[in-house]
């Protein structure tokens, strides 16, 4: 093989890598942005719920302090403390959202020398990344639940958030998707459940229809697309239908 042939081959390989690498980085970053935004929304919703609970207990105190049980007083103090902490944290939510927006803009700018991805291509790439991320979470779910049980007298977690610290890390960073997915049941999975995890919220397919990713107890991961914009009713019915049996068992 001549030196000229080697050089040409090297130039071709370099050109291919220069096109492929930005696309891979863009896809991964889109999932990261989706994950972070869901975490921020979850935190804001939690603050709202805690604030309502705090206000309710505070009203009870105002009405009659003497009638409150010790347990209610302890709950009031716990809620007030948690609300205070969350309010402090939510001071940076807007800044983080702005950072997300800037990062998204930066990715677009970084890709400008290459062919810009269309909206449909971006949505398809994000869809594929969410499915792949769910597969990674699903593979590590049982080991994480076992580690949790070992630390909690063989008790099962009642929420997916309790499991986050039991998934493996890489370079000190948590797995992607720990804020993107959650248990189907509010209080955790139950024996006999076939459907275990779902995407929090939905994402868009290239045709604009809403879709959601699910994981079953046998490790299978599927993406379900709603036929119309009335997605919540569709997904609610679909989950009830497949809670204890997978689609190929119907």
Average per-residue pLDDT in the chain? 75
The predicted model scores a pTM of 0.56
Shortest CA distance to 129 belongs to which of 35, 65, 219?
35
Distance CA 33, CA 104 (A): 8
Q: What is the mean pLDDT of residues 37-45?
A: 66
Rg (CA), the chain: 23
pLDDT band at 7 (very low <50, low <70, confident <90, very high): very low
**pLDDT for 172:** 84
Write down the residue that tokens 């449909």 correspond to. Answer: 120
Q: What is the mean pLDDT of residues 16-38?
A: 56
Q: Residue 179: phi, psi to the nearest 5? A: -110, -5
Per residue in 88-116, pLDDT (tens digit) is 555 555 555 566 566 556 555 555 555 67
Distance CA 20, CA 9 (A): 17
Distance CA 130, CA 31 (A): 7
**pLDDT for 14:** 45
With vertex at residue 162, the alpha carbon angle to CA 215 and CA 239, rounded to the nearest 5 degrees, is: 30
pLDDT surpasses 90 at 212 = yes
Better pLDDT: 68 or 234:
234
119-151 helix and 3-63 helix, angle to the nearest 10 degrees:
60
If you ran DSSP here, which 8-state letter would residue 247 be given?
Answer: G
Distance CA 236, CA 238 (A): 5
Cβ–Cβ under 8 Å, residues 46 and 86: yes
Q: What is the mean pLDDT of residues 4-10?
A: 48
Per residue in 158-190, pLDDT (tens digit) is 999 999 999 999 888 889 889 999 999 988 888
Cβ–Cβ under 8 Å, residues 163 and 157: yes
Cβ–Cβ under 8 Å, residues 177 and 137: yes
**pLDDT for 21:** 47
Distance CA 231, CA 234 (A): 5
H or E element: which one contains 198?
strand 195-199
Inter-residue long-range contacts of 184-187, CB under 8 Å, 24+ positions, other chains counted: 184/214, 184/239, 184/243, 186/159, 187/158, 187/159
Distance CA 80, CA 155 (A): 28
Distance CA 183, CA 40 (A): 18
Distance CA 61, CA 67 (A): 8
pLDDT band at 125 (very low <50, low <70, confident <90, very high): confident
Among 1-10, 34-43, 158-167, 239-248, where is mean pLDDT lowest?
1-10
Q: What is the mean pLDDT of residues 12-17?
A: 47
Q: Residue 68: phi, psi to the nearest 5? A: -75, 140
Cβ–Cβ under 8 Å, residues 164 and 141: no
**pLDDT for 121:** 86
């Amino acid at each position: 093989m001549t030196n000229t042939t080697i050089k040409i081959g090297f130039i071709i390989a370099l050109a291919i890598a220069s096109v492929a690498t930005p696309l891979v980085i863009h896809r991964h970053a889109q999932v990261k942005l989706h994950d972070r935004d869901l975490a921020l929304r979850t935190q804001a919703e939690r603050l709202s719920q805690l604030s309502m609970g705090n206000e309710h207990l505070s009203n009870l105190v105002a009405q009659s302090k003497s009638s409150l049980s010790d347990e209610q007083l302890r709950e009031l103090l716990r809620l007030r403390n948690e609300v205070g902490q969350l309010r402090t944290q939510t001071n940076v939510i807007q800044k983080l959202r702005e950072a997300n927006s800037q990062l998204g803009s930066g990715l677009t700018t970084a890709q400008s020398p290459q062919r810009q991805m269309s909206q449909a291509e971006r949505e398809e790439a994000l869809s594929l990344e969410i499915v792949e991320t769910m597969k990674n979470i699903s593979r590590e779910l049982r080991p994480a639940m076992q580690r949790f049980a070992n630390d909690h007298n063989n008790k099962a977690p009642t929420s997916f958030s309790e499991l986050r610290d039991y998934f493996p890390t890489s370079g000190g960073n948590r797995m992607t998707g720990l804020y993107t997915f959650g248990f189907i049941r509010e209080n955790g999975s139950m024996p006999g459940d076939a459907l275990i995890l779902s995407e929090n919220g939905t994402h868009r397919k290239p045709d604009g229809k809403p879709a959601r990713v699910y994981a079953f107890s046998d490790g299978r991961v599927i993406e379900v697309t709603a036929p119309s914009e009335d997605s919540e009713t569709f997904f609610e019915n679909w989950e009830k239908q497949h809670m204890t049996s997978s689609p190929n068992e119907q």
